[in-house]
Chain A
Amino acid sequence: QVQVVQSGAELRKPGASVKVSCKASGYTFSAYAIHWVRQAPGQRLEWMGWINAGTGNTKYSQRFEGRVTLTRDTSASTAYVELTSLGSEDTAVYYCARGPLGNYRLDSWGQGTLVTVSS
């Protein structure tokens, strides 16, 4: 069955960077997209961007443009999000989710990774 497993919680200081991984199994990794969504405390879900796991093409939310990088390693069926210049407002649970190409529903989600930014 489809599984998406994320790396563990991270604690960073303001100004630092963080990289979260998302390992997929149970399907052909390169035939789907991986989306990244975050949820800050008390806030709505916020879409950050997606990567075509086959081609590596990416699309970012302008809100994060310049600070976020999505990559993937097809040999490891793993996607990554890296966020730089962290501030306290980046404290959130970060989710990856699989999405069929061409219809951007998010049909299988990782368990979430808590990123805490604190001095």
Chain B
Amino acid sequence: DIQMTQSPSSLSASVGDRVTITCRASRRIDAYLNWYQQRPGQAPNLLIYAASSLQGGVPSRFSGSGFGTDFTLTITGLQPEDFATYFCQQSYSTPYTFGQGTKLEIK
């Protein structure tokens, strides 16, 4: 199975900040990388697919980049509703594994 490792596991930031979350795959996955946001008590919500494509309806302050094994999710200008947990997921080969999550908290 492909292992997905996110860093950091938790992060404190303020409204208006720019934050970056990193996801590393244990082997090459080309651009088969998706990012999700999960608020407490809710289902995950797709933000970014194919490493850098913004899902419809997602604010443009979210962006993704990377290829191969290293990927980043960047949020530029944090809003109060962005404080949540973020997961990466590889869709290169089954089982489609997820990272352990990054919890973004208000400083």
Contacts and interface: CB of A to CB of B under 8 A. Distances in A.
A15 to B, nearest CB: 25
A105 interface: yes
Nearest to B99: A44
If over half of B's interface residues share one DSSP class (helix, strand or loop), that class is named, otherwise mixed; here it is: loop
B7 interface: no
* Contact-residue size bin, chain B (C-beta under 8 Å from the other chain): 20 to 34
Interface string B35-69: 01000001111100110000100000000000000
A61 B42 CA distance: 24
Nearest to A105: B49
A24 to B, nearest CB: 14
- Considering residues A37, A59, A61, A104, which has the most beta carbons from chain B within 10 angstroms of its beta carbon? A104
Interface string A24-53: 000000000001010000001111000000
